[in-house]
Amino acid sequence: MGLGGISVWQLLIVLLIVVLIFGTKRLKSIGGDLGGAVKGFRKAMDDGEKEGDKKQIPSEESVKPDAKFEEQSESGDASKRA
C-alpha cells in the first residue's frame, strides 16, 4: 500500500499514460517551466523579506523629536490655554 491507498503499480500506470499522452519532450519543457516559476517565486519572496527588513518602522524609543519641535508645541499649547 502506498500513499493514501494508491499502490506503486497504480502510480506507474498513471505515469505511463501521462508519458504516452504528452511525450517526454513536452513533459521536460513543462517541468523546466514549472521549476523556473517556483525559482522566480522564491526569489521574489526573499527580495520582499529583505525590503521588509530594511523598511521596518522604527520604534518610538529610537525616534526622538527635535528640540525646536518641542518648543513650538509647548508655546502653541500655552496660547491655546489662554
Mean pLDDT, residues 51-65 taken together: 62
Contact 39, 48 (CB under 8 A): no
Does residue 12 belong to any structural domain of this protein?
A: no
Q: Is the residue at 37 inside a domain?
A: yes
| Tally of domains within the chain | 1
Q: What is the pLDDT of residue 49?
A: 82
Average the pLDDT over each of 5-9, 14-18, 75-79 and give the range with the smallest value: 75-79
pLDDT given for residue 43 in this prediction? 94
State the DSSP H helix or E strand holding residue 25, giving kind and residue range, or none if neither: helix 24-54
59-81 per-position pLDDT tens digit = 555 555 565 665 565 655 555 55
Q: Tell me the average pLDDT across 36-63.
A: 78
Does residue 39 fall inside a structural domain?
A: yes
Report yes or no on 43 lying in a domain.
yes
**Which residue segment(s) compose the domain that 34 sits in?**
23-55
Q: Output DSSP code: residue 13.
A: H
